[in-house]
């Protein structure tokens, strides 16, 4: 899929204030600093459409970006960021779970996982949560430029084992990406194009 337009629409912390349009949307979630905002920039060919930072905790709100005028990418704050106060953390979590549980336009979550690390409890917990609320999701491994291809394969195998132990029957759909090198861009965009096509064909409530 070719990206012709990508525009920032709105940031907020209240799901009821998200865009009212009935367009399919794809949310990027994962630990702080995993590369959610960088991946959105990479996919849309922009340097700073979504704000990025070397310090965790940069994205603090729900950010809607309208793509090709007919679907949305959504950048979210990271989970598991220890430096925000407990109170802020609770508010974060509440509006993030509100978003996941109430946003009807949300058709797929991309759970981003830093490929450099072994399976982390917080990611496995979040994936279990998505299973519980029955939201379709894919895993996107990030920062693949930082380790060798052999290690990438080894870490994915580790995740497969951890997910099977957590009662998943198979490894979910997953992609390996690097925002700095553009790895995985075509595959992620083709996946989104396929889901959009199915939705526009079969679901009258969208457009
Ligand atoms: P929060 O908004 O704080 O939750 O973080 P985020 O998940 O949006 O991460 P962000 O995109 O801001 O990136 C965090 C840091 O990782 C930045 O310094 C990026 O330059 C770096 N980074 C992101 N993706 C990649 C990648 O694929 N490769 C490399 N080498 N660095 C990356
Ligand atoms: Mg961010």
Q: How high is the pLDDT of residue 84?
A: 61
In whole angstroms, what is the distance from residue 138 CA to residue 194 CA? 14
Closest C-alpha residue for ligand 1 atom 24: 35
Looking at residue 93, its pLDDT comes to: 79
Atom of ligand 1 nearest to the CA of 77: 4
Determine, yes or no, domain membership for 205: no
Q: Give how far Cα 205 sits from Cα of 15, 91, 105, 108, Å.
A: 19, 31, 9, 16
Which residue lies with its CA nearest to atom 26 of ligand 1?
143
pLDDT at res. 196: 96
> For residues 185 and 73, what is the distance between their CA atoms, to the nearest angstrom?
14
Relative to the alpha carbon of 81, which ligand is closest?
1
First to last CA, the chain: 20
Q: How far apart are CA 62 and CA 28, in angstroms?
A: 10
Determine, yes or no, domain membership for 107. Answer: yes
**Are residues 12 and 62 in contact, defined by beta-carbon separation less than 8 angstroms?**
yes
Is residue 125 in some structural domain?
Answer: yes
Q: Kindly give the confidence (pLDDT) of every residue in the chain, 207 residues in length, as a single tens digit, with 9 standing for 90 and above.
A: 999 999 999 999 999 999 999 999 999 999 999 999 999 999 999 999 999 999 888 888 999 999 999 999 999 999 876 566 666 666 667 899 999 999 999 999 999 999 999 888 889 999 999 999 999 999 999 999 999 999 999 999 999 999 999 889 999 999 999 999 999 999 999 999 999 999 998 866 675
Q: Which of 29, 31, 38 to mutate to test the pocket of ligand 1 (most atoms within 8 A of CB)?
A: 38
207 assigned to some structural domain: no
Identify the CATH number of the domain in which residue 53 sits. 3.40.50.300
* pTM, to two decimals: 0.94
Q: Give all strands (DSSP E) within 14-70, no chain letters.
A: 25-30, 62-67
What gap in Å lies between CA 135 and CA 132, rounded to an integer? 8
Domain membership of residue 206 (yes or no) is no
Beta strands in the chain (DSSP E): 6-12, 25-30, 62-67, 71-75, 106-114, 137-142, 174-176
Name the domain count of the chain. Answer: 1
State if residue 37 touches ligand 1 by the CB under 6 angstroms criterion. Answer: yes
Q: How far apart are CA 50 and CA 118, in angstroms?
A: 27
Ligand 1 touching residue 54 (CB < 6 A) = yes
Domain encompassing residue 70: 6-200
pLDDT computed for residue 177 by the predictor: 98
In a domain, 63, yes or no: yes
Ligand 1: which of 79, 120, 179 to mutate, most ligand atoms within 8 Å of CB? Answer: 179
Examine residue 1 and state whether it is found in any structural domain, yes or no: no
3-state secondary structure 112-131: EEECCCCCCHHHHHHHHHHH
Using alpha carbons, select from 207, 203, 200, 195 the residue that is nearest to residue 73: 195
Phi-psi region of 165 (alpha: psi -120 to 50; beta: other; left: phi over 0): alpha
């Amino acid at each position: 899929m070719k990206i012709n337009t990508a525009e920032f629409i709105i940031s907020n912390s209240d799901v009821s204030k998200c865009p009212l349009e009935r367009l399919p949307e794809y949310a990027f979630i994962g630990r702080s600093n995993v590369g959610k905002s960088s991946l959105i920039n990479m996919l849309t060919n922009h340097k700073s459409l979504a704000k990025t930072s070397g310090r965790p905790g940069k994205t603090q709100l729900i950010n809607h970006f309208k793509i090709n005028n007919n679907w949305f990418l959504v950048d979210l704050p990271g989970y598991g960021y220890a430096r925000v106060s407990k109170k802020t953390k609770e508010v974060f979590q509440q509006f993030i779970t509100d978003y996941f549980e109430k946003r009807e336009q949300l058709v797929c979550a991309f759970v981003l996982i830093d490929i450099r690390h072994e399976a982390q409890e917080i990611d496995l917990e979040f994936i279990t949560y998505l299973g519980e609320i029955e939201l379709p999701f894919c895993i996107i491994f990030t920062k693949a430029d930082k380790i060798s291809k052999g290690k990438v394969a080894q870490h994915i195998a580790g995740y497969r084992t951890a997910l099977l132990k957590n009662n998943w029957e198979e490894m979910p759909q997953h992609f390996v990406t690097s925002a700095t090198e553009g790895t995985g861009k075509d595959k992620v965009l083709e996946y989104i194009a396929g889901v959009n096509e199915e939705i526009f064909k079969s679901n009258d409530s969208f457009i």
